Amino acid sequence: MRRVALCCLAIFVLSCERGPKMIIQSDAQAWVKVAPADRKNFVDTLVTFGKSRGYSTVVRDVPGEWPMVMVRMTHNRGTVINAANATEEINYSIAVFRGASDEEWSTDWRDLRSQVATSWQWQEVPSTSKPR
CATH number, position 121: 3.30.160.110
Q: Residue 12: its pLDDT value, please?
A: 44
**Model pTM score:** 0.79
Residues of the chain under the 50 pLDDT cut: 1-22, 130, 132
Q: Is residue 100 part of a domain?
A: yes
Cα 24 from chain centre: 11
Q: Is residue 114 part of a domain?
A: yes
Q: Is residue 130 part of a domain?
A: no
Structural domain range at position 16: 2-125
Q: Residue 120: its pLDDT value, please?
A: 97
Q: Residue 103: its pLDDT value, please?
A: 86
Structurally, the chain folds into a number of domains equal to: 1
Write out pLDDT tens, residues 81-92.
999 998 889 999
E-only strand ranges, 16-67: 28-33, 56-62
Q: Residue 126: its pLDDT value, please?
A: 82
The answer to whether 79 touches 96, Cβ cutoff 8 Å, is yes
